Structure 1
Amino acid sequence: MRLFDAHCHLQDPRILTYVPQIITTAQSLGVTSFAVNGVSENDWQSVKHLSQSHPSVLPSFGLHPWFVAERSPYWFNSLKQYFDSTPSAAVGEIGLDKGSHGRSIDFSEQVEVLKQQLELAKMLNKPASVHCVRAFGELLDIMKSMGPFPAGVILHSYLGSAEMVPEFSKLGAYFSFSGFLMSLKANKAKKMLKMVASDRILLETDAPDALPKANIDSLFFVEGDPSLPKELQGQSSTSSSALGTSLNDKSQVLTDASTLPKETLNHPANILLVLDYVASMLEISKEELAELSYQNAVRVFSYEGSKVLHT
């Protein structure tokens, strides 16, 4: 099986040191590519460097809504310069957030910054990876006013309603699913997934966040993660069923991800668990979902200058 992690953050300081091992482990399991999304002026250079160091890393540059208040007066010019110097880059992570974190950031500024970046994506004919929390109505209105988006808009970690799926699809949206999907009620997740056309489904990890809700013995951990309980330290890169037999007497307590500290880091290899879950909800085989999501990712990331064109 070939898999394509359509949205992650390998530049995150929590895992940056371990990226070579992380990529090697994920690739050994069939993950061929990693769309790595910058979130602020402070990490765009790190994303660019990762893409230069690792052929499997597809860079994306964007200003995430959480960092809108911290932007410099010249952020947009700087962003455009990154695209000028990095033709392989997509746009992202951008978006809107009215959740617990986003509530403290002026929403009108979030809208202004999002519109600028969507306009840039259209001008560059590149896909944009969009974060949206509790603002899907506003996002849909903005996309309707600016769209359609023939190069694609990736609704990353999509948790919106089933009813909105056709509306977003008409505008060029793809729907990317991460471990966060497992936090929805199963019947709601299933209804929403069934509304997504097979040529619009993507899979992602959002690593190092969005650890899937799964049994510990099926999870992959990031080597060196300081939040891991001692009995899981050193098991990070082998994971698999070996973990189940290596746990000490606490194994009765540490049974699944919900029993781990909330800071536990997610590994891109856990895209296999997202694949399992989405395939079960759609009632199709893992192999079928892996291939169609892979082909969808290749299509959306095959813009002019993209690394995908050369793989």
Structure 2
Amino acid sequence: MPASPPSSELQDTDAFPWDLGVYDAHCHPTDTMASIADIASMSARTLTIMATRGQDQGLVYDSTFTVNKQAGHASEEDKVIPAFGWHPWFSYQIVDDSSAANPTGKDAHYSAVLAPSPAEDVEFLKNLPELKILSALVAETRDRLRQFPHALVGEVGLDKSFRLPGSWTREDLEARDEQMTPGSREGRRLSPYKVKLDHQRLVLKAQLRLAGEMQRPVSVHSVQSHGAVFEVLRELWKGHERKTMSRRERARLQDAEGALSDDESLPDVEHLQGNKDDLQEQQRSTTMRNTDSAQPLPFPPRICMHSYSGPVEPIRQFLHESNPSDVYFSFSAVINFSGLSSAKALDVIKALPSDRILIESDLHIAGKRMDNLLEDAARQICRVRGWELREGVQQLAENYKRFIYG
């Protein structure tokens, strides 16, 4: 009789356990509004739909009401969780109105926040959109978050590699897919212009502070910017770090645990238990301040590094026990499990704690293809982690619920 195949091979033929609940931590179906009607028939339990720019904030808002109303009481969980925010790709459109020293006027603003400066590129400047006021956008996002108690701030972040698309040509307009929501690149040639990182940081920090004020999770975009994102977070975390135990305190805790497990008849057991409880309470103190503090905290309680593409080393910083935000990492089949980035993603997934992993599709169209991408991502992660399929899907579901609901 031939030997049984290893569990990793069995996963490829096992029926996928949609019944456990499969959750998309990051997607963009409002980029193709015609697909929104397909969400109701999807196997995925919940989609977390991101807003990114001016054209899709209202679409995410309206689609959440529409889809969840259609779903009715078929599930205790919403079919859609919305996220409202401005993506770093569109941060150049936002003007900081907090200082009189900032340049005024459309051309002066764009010349200041883009590199190289497009001051001499009259045609390019003429075709750039009108400016958005940062304080007004923060106020609008706050109002939208209030409408949905579990809504996120997202998609926000930093991107060092992005270049603005060039102006629309006649050929571009003639070839344009009318089903696509306006505002994205849509195949246009890229210009030489990038958004200065300092400006991206300013817009990101304003949105992270809002997430802290509202105590909402955040979905973060980071391309070639993991260190820069961490520096922004560290600035906001300063003074709110969780207390960490010294080596001596850890040894005391281990001694207490060992004594309690090895000999519960020891006369000072209660004293040892007290030491253990005191040390654990010290670790929880900052977390408790997140909900008890009269002053809103300047950072989100939970953060998802979406489609994380960095190496293993930075995750040690993000997951350090002193950080007062809980950081999760999500992975998509399209971004993380194809091409040159695949090996790096597998190393990261192996190194992560099992309770900090999420899956996503990062897809612009809802329906069967989105379901397939979620299943592919879940199977890949289960293989890498050595999880049985049902065990792994259950773990991913629990991780998502903790990320969204706390």
Scaled to the shorter chain, the TM-score interval is: 0.7 to 0.9
| Separation (CA, whole Å) in 2 of partners of 1:186 and 1:108 | 30
| Contact 2:309/2:341 (8 A) holds in 1 | no
Number of the residue aligned with 1:50: 63
| Separation (CA, whole Å) in 2 of partners of 1:267 and 1:23 | 13
| Contact 1:166/1:195 (8 A) holds in 2 | no
Quote the offset at 1:104 in angstroms.
1.2
Quote the offset at 1:173 in angstroms.
0.7
| Separation (CA, whole Å) in 1 of partners of 2:372 and 2:343 | 26
| Contact 1:156/1:177 (8 A) holds in 2 | yes
Relative to the length of structure 2, the TM-score reads 0.57
Quote the offset at 1:10 in angstroms.
1.6
Post-superposition Cα deviations, 1:231-260, rounded to whole Å, max 9, x if no partner, equal: xxxxxx5xxxxxxxxxxxxxxxxxxxxxxx
Post-superposition Cα deviations, 1:120-157, rounded to whole Å, max 9, x if no partner, equal: 11111110000000011111111122136562100000
| Separation (CA, whole Å) in 2 of partners of 1:198 and 1:137 | 23
Number of the residue aligned with 2:331: 177
| Contact 2:23/2:359 (8 A) holds in 1 | yes
Q: Which amino acid aligns with 1:20?
A: A
Post-superposition Cα deviations, 1:273-310, rounded to whole Å, max 9, x if no partner, equal: 1111122222222222211111111111115xxxxxxx
- Gap change, CA 1:85 and 1:190, over 3 Å in 2: closer
Q: Which has the larger radius of gyration?
A: 2
Quote the offset at 1:267 in angstroms.
2.4
Relative to the length of structure 1, the TM-score reads 0.73
Map 1:55-204; keep pairs closer than 5 Å.
Answer: 55=68, 56-71=79-94, 72-73=132-133, 74-101=136-163, 104-147=194-237, 151-170=301-320, 171=323, 172-179=326-333, 180-183=335-338, 184-204=340-360
| Separation (CA, whole Å) in 2 of partners of 1:283 and 1:23 | 32
- Please give the secondary structure, in 2, of the residue aligned with 1:301: helix
Number of the residue aligned with 1:296: 399
| Separation (CA, whole Å) in 2 of partners of 1:66 and 1:268 | 27
Aligned-residue RMSD, C-alpha: 2.0
Percent same amino acid at aligned positions? 28
| Contact 2:150/2:405 (8 A) holds in 1 | no
Structure 2: runs of 5 or more not aligned: 1-16, 69-78, 95-131, 165-192, 242-298
Number of the residue aligned with 2:185: none
Structure 1: runs of 5 or more not aligned: 210-221, 224-236, 238-265, 304-311
- Please give the secondary structure, in 2, of the residue aligned with 1:164: helix
| Separation (CA, whole Å) in 1 of partners of 2:57 and 2:302 | 21
Q: Which amino acid aligns with 1:38?
A: A
- Please give the secondary structure, in 1, of the residue aligned with 2:48: strand
